[in-house]
């Protein structure tokens, strides 16, 4: 971790247990994003609503690498303020995440990345096709948002929220990917699955062969199965991700 940020870190003794767990989970998301190679130095963000404080959320300090994020150095901010780097947070990240969390009380965590695979699918006019089991998670649960430049203007929040709607994810054209969930596990796993679905589709398209799209009725069935999976046995994979992370990069818990 950068030594110049240490003085501002929060003591665990000053944090309620529910918030501390949320901090651990969000720090884990940042480290997992880095582990899978989806990070971009200090840019792109994930966020978590603070338990018991619905108008506040956590995000990383602007100048930290993802591998430097810990539970104690996450920044708590109000989504009702107008903040930028002078407050220690990235302005575009604050604009996007504060807007999404303020509009969706069913969402507690959001993940946004600019991976090359995500950018490639975001540059296709036809978007994500239902050509893999991974894509099924997003059948009729995926929004699209037109590119408006770097996300700094609060006025764009209204259009982002309109385009996201009640969906689980959004492809931001010419920009990147966004996933949302009721917890860290859901937002992270949805992002992992969306990137996999995009990669599979791009590989199929690269062959020049005819894509075998899954019929609508099977898409509807499978997407419903995934929602049941995520609400039940699927939730157990988060502890597995944390065990994996603890074996290679346990510093996020600090």
Instruction: Give percent above pLDDT 90 in the chain.
Output: 86
Q: Where are the domains of the chain?
A: 3-253
Q: Which CATH architecture has domain 3-253?
A: 3-Layer(aba) Sandwich (3.40)
Asked whether residue 215 carries a pLDDT value surpassing 70, the answer given is yes
Asked whether residue 167 carries a pLDDT value surpassing 50, the answer given is yes
- Residue 54's CB is within 10 A of a number of other CB atoms, namely 13
Question: What torsion, rounded to 10 degrees, do the Cα atoms 22, 254, 15, 82 define?
Answer: -70
Q: Can you give the C-alpha Rg of the chain in angstroms?
A: 18
What's residue 232's pLDDT?
A: 86
Asked whether residue 3 carries a pLDDT value surpassing 80, the answer given is no
Average pLDDT over residues 213-223: 97
Question: What torsion, rounded to 10 degrees, do the Cα atoms 79, 81, 83, 87 define?
Answer: -90
Distance CA 119, CA 126 (A): 14
Instruction: Give percent above pLDDT 70 in the chain.
Output: 97
Q: What is the pLDDT of residues 225-244, one digit of tens each?
A: 999 998 888 889 999 999 99
Distance CA 172, CA 119 (A): 9
Q: What is the pTM of this model?
A: 0.93
Distance CA 162, CA 146 (A): 11
First to last CA, the chain: 11
Instruction: For the sheet with 142-145, list strands across it.
Output: 75-78, 53-59, 45-50, 109-113, 176-181, 169-172, 142-145
Asked whether residue 218 carries a pLDDT value surpassing 90, the answer given is yes
Asked whether residue 8 carries a pLDDT value surpassing 90, the answer given is no
Distance CA 170, CA 117 (A): 14
Question: What torsion, rounded to 10 degrees, do the Cα atoms 3, 84, 118, 109 define?
Answer: 80
Structure-token match 């247990």, residue found: 17
**What phi and psi, each to the nearest 5 degrees, are found at residue 46?**
-125, 155
Q: What number of CA atoms fall less than 13 Å from residue 191's CA on the CB side? A: 30
Burial class (CB in 10 A: 0-12, 13-18, 19+), 146: exposed
Contact 30, 108 (CB under 8 A): no
Distance CA 213, CA 58 (A): 39
């Amino acid at each position: 971790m950068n030594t110049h940020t240490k003085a501002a870190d929060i003591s665990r003794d000053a944090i309620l247990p529910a918030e501390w767990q949320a901090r651990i989970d969000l720090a884990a998301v940042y480290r997992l994003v880095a582990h899978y190679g989806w990070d971009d130095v200090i840019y792109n963000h994930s966020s978590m609503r603070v338990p018991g404080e619905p108008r506040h959320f956590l995000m990383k300090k602007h100048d930290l690498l993802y591998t430097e994020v810990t539970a104690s150095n996450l920044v708590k901010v109000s989504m009702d303020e107008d903040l930028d780097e002078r407050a220690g947070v990235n302005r575009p990240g604050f604009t996007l995440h504060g807007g999404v969390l303020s509009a969706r009380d069913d969402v507690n965590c959001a993940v946004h990345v600019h991976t090359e695979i995500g950018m490639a699918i975001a540059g296709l006019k036809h978007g994500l096709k239902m050509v893999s089991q991974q894509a099924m998670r997003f059948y009729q649960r995926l929004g699209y948002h037109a590119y408006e430049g770097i996300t700094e203007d609060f006025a764009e929040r209204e259009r982002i929220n309109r385009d996201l709607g009640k969906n689980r994810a959004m492809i931001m054209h010419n920009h990147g990917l966004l996933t949302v969930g009721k917890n860290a596990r859901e937002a992270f796993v949805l992002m992992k699955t969306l990137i996999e679905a995009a990669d599979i589709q791009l590989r199929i398209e690269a062959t020049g062969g005819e894509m075998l799209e899954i019929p609508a009725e099977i898409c509807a069935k499978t997407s419903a199965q995934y929602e049941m999976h995520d609400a039940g046995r699927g939730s157990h994979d988060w502890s597995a991700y944390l065990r994996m992370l603890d074996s290679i990069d346990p510093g996020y818990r600090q």
